[in-house]
Amino acid sequence: MSSSILTPGNAKHLEQIRQFGEPGAGPTYRGQMLFCDNSANLLVSVEHGGAERLRWWALQDMTSAARTTLPLPRGVAAVVPPGGQVVLSVTVGGELQEWAASNGALLRSTKLELSVADMCLGSQGDTLLIADSGGRLLLWDVGHWRPVRELESVSARIHGCALSEDGTVAAAGTSVVQPDGASQARVMLWNTQTGRRYAVIPDEAFHIWDVSFAPSTRLLAAGTSVDRILLIDADRAAVVRTLEGPAPGAYRLDFSPDGLLLAVGTDNGGFCIVGVADGADLFSYSDCSDMHASPAVFTQDGRSVAWAEGSGQVGIWAVKR
């Protein structure tokens, strides 16, 4: 089935064209973290709650069955370095693992002294940024399988992290407990070459759930726990615009390959597509279940969006030609 490249002009016509996986999420299912790579066209899922599985599919496969399914208790996230030969995963307890994409064989594993909240892959595929929920960030060399450096720690709870395309800036969405016990949202920025934090950008929300850099720019999107998405110039460490986000909060963010669209996984079982230029709400969908939250991620060809459903399946959404 052919589909069009997604644009601000046609995103309102998104429809589900297929599903991966089988229905049957357990009562403790809380959603999935998803990653689409740009080489082997793999779609990778880490299931939170429920069966707690690591799974991946090839987008070109006609079957809905996963190529590989592995148990991953307390899994956080997984990514695929360029070439599509391996899948990297990490758990809450800091177990960093490398799996063969061809057959799911465990190639190597390392125990990090971290309580992991999030992990992202640099655009060159050679560096991981791993965030500890207690305020630590670690840069990891994928090829040499060793730490590069730990960034300056902060007194904050980290929820999401991101690396700029050139790898020189690290960003984190955080919340900081105030003297009265309330939390305040803050975006924090680090120079990865020196490891020093160079900016703190506060917001009136309780949390910044996620951060994401636009392709080929230093424009950073930050999703708050209210109906607001911040667009930040990371060089000037300044909010340049604010977009209207979903009312329950922007749980996870992902830019389209051309940077014109932002896919927003909401905090209550849904996702939406927002136009970056004007903040237009172009498309939204919910399965009416507030017991799970998952990101919506663009495939690297810009033609479809993947989103994990309350059923435990992963839906693929596109605009048919």
For residue 200, the tally of other CB atoms under 10 A from its CB is 14
Residue 106 contacts residue 148 (beta carbons within 8 Å): no
Residue 240 confidence class, pLDDT cut points 50, 70, 90? very high
Q: Is residue 3, in this structure, part of any structural domain at all?
A: no
For residue 288, the tally of other CB atoms under 10 A from its CB is 8
Q: Is residue 230, in this structure, part of any structural domain at all?
A: yes
Q: Look at residue 241 in the predicted model and tell me its pLDDT.
A: 96
Q: Look at residue 216 in the predicted model and tell me its pLDDT.
A: 86
Rounded CA-CA distance 207/185 in Å is 4
Residue 67 contacts residue 83 (beta carbons within 8 Å): no
Q: Look at residue 288 in the predicted model and tell me its pLDDT.
A: 85
- Please report, rounded to a whole number, the percentage of residues in the chain having pLDDT higher than 90: 89
C-alpha triplet 108, 109, 113: angle, nearest 5° = 155
CATH code for the domain of 306? 2.130.10.10
Q: Give the model confidence (pLDDT) of 152-200 as tens digits.
A: 999 999 999 999 999 999 999 999 998 888 899 999 999 999 999 999 9
For residue 44, pLDDT beyond 60? yes
Q: Is residue 2, in this structure, part of any structural domain at all?
A: no
Q: Is residue 4, in this structure, part of any structural domain at all?
A: no
* Sign of torsion over alpha carbons 95, 98, 99, 101: positive
Per-chain mean pLDDT for the chain: 95
Residue with tokens 């799970």: 292
User: What is the phi/psi pair of residue 13, to 5°?
Assistant: -100, 15
Q: Residue 184, SS3?
A: strand
Tell me the two tokens of residue 134. 């207690």
Q: Is residue 197, in this structure, part of any structural domain at all?
A: yes
Domain total of the chain? 1
Q: Is residue 157, in this structure, part of any structural domain at all?
A: yes
Region 66-79 average pLDDT: 98
Q: Look at residue 1 in the predicted model and tell me its pLDDT.
A: 57
Q: Is residue 195, in this structure, part of any structural domain at all?
A: yes
Q: Look at residue 279 in the predicted model and tell me its pLDDT.
A: 95
Q: Look at residue 78 in the predicted model and tell me its pLDDT.
A: 98
Instruction: Kindly list the distances between the CA atom of residue 1 and the CA atoms of 40, 115, 243, in Å, as whole numbers in the listed order.
Output: 19, 43, 33
For 126, left (φ over 0), alpha (ψ -120 to 50), or beta?
alpha
Q: Which domain holds residue 74?
A: 11-318
**One-letter amino acid of 188:** M
Q: Give the model confidence (pLDDT) of 256-286 as tens digits.
A: 999 999 999 998 899 999 999 999 999 999 9
Residue 226 confidence class, pLDDT cut points 50, 70, 90? very high
Residue with tokens 């963010």: 253
Q: Is residue 1, in this structure, part of any structural domain at all?
A: no
* Sign of torsion over alpha carbons 206, 291, 274, 165: positive
